[in-house]
């Protein structure tokens, strides 16, 4: 900052108190410190704007201002008490300095504020987008998990039914990994119910042992037989068609 606005402080109550206690020295110290703080406002140190540079201690300032160090400390304490300055963990801070800055610095302040707001909006927008994507992914993952679990349960649930072909098929164990046979069995269950297909298969060894009985050793053959019965009006008989109605 090259300069700052020096408003008329002649009737300012805080400045009046300061000068009543410390005379022109109080007035001079206050504005000298303002000049020092303002002179260190640069484009590349925005986090330090408004603060007294740490390298300027009381001894250095007292020597620079030609005033006793203890008097300087007391004037600064009075400025803090009057809220002309603030004490930020031992650092002198002037909250009003940016209101008094030159036109160039005011533009920097506005630009900094605008950038900060834009950054905040971008972060909020990005966070919102990320949350939306996360929610979407969670929903998709939940649906995928649900479908996988449901499929796994359904697939696993077929195994006990397939096991019932053991009495009519010495190689029934090959049916467990046969996708075509599993789909055929699931289709039968969906159409006639699990309980009815299970009851039919439990009777199957007895049914196929009868003379002229159809050969049914796997789900696909059972499905084909049921379709034949349906086309003939359910009179296939020997497969126990009535059991599936």
Kindly state the average pLDDT of the residues 55-83: 89
Average predicted confidence (pLDDT) for the chain: 75
- Residue 133's pLDDT band (boundaries 50, 70, 90)? low
Q: Are 226 and 218 in contact (CB under 8 A)?
A: no
Percent of the chain whose pLDDT exceeds 90 = 26
- Asked if residue 181 has pLDDT above 60, the reply is yes
Rg (CA), the chain: 45
Q: Are 186 and 151 in contact (CB under 8 A)?
A: no
Q: Where are the domains of the chain?
A: 13-101, 155-244
Tell me the fold of 13-101: Arc Repressor Mutant, subunit A (1.10.10)
pLDDT at residue 55 in the model: 79
CA atoms within 13 A on the CB side of 18: 29
Taking the CA atoms of 123, 124, 130 and 134 in sequence, report the sign of the dihedral they define: positive
Q: Are 237 and 200 in contact (CB under 8 A)?
A: no
CA atoms within 13 A on the CB side of 15: 13
Reported pTM: 0.40
- Asked if residue 153 has pLDDT above 50, the reply is no
- Residue 48's pLDDT band (boundaries 50, 70, 90)? low
């Amino acid at each position: 900052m090259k300069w700052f606005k020096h408003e008329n402080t002649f009737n300012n109550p805080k400045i009046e108190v300061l000068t009543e206690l410390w005379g022109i020295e109080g007035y001079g110290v206050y504005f000298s410190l303002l000049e020092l703080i303002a002179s260190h406002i640069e484009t590349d140190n925005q986090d330090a704007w408004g603060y007294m540079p740490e390298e300027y201690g009381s001894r250095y300032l007292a020597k620079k201002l030609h005033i006793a160090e203890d008097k300087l400390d007391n004037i600064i304490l009075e400025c803090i008490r009057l809220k002309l300055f603030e004490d930020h963990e031992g650092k002198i801070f002037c909250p009003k300095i940016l209101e008094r800055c030159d036109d160039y610095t005011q533009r920097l302040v506005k630009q900094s504020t605008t950038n900060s707001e834009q950054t905040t909006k971008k972060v909020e927008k990005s966070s919102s987008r990320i949350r939306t994507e996360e929610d979407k992914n969670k929903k998709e993952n939940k649906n995928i998990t649900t479908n996988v679990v449901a499929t796994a349960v359904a697939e696993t649930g077929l195994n006990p039914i397939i096991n019932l072909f053991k009495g009519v098929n010495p190689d029934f164990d090959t049916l467990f990994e046969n996708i075509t046979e599993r789909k055929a069995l699931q289709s039968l269950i969906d159409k006639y119910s699990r309980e009815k297909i299970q009851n039919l298969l439990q009777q199957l060894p007895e049914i196929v042992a009868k003379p002229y009985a159809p050969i049914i050793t796997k789900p696909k053959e059972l499905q084909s037989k049921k379709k034949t019965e349906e086309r003939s009006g359910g009179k296939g008989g020997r497969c126990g068609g009535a059991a599936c109605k």
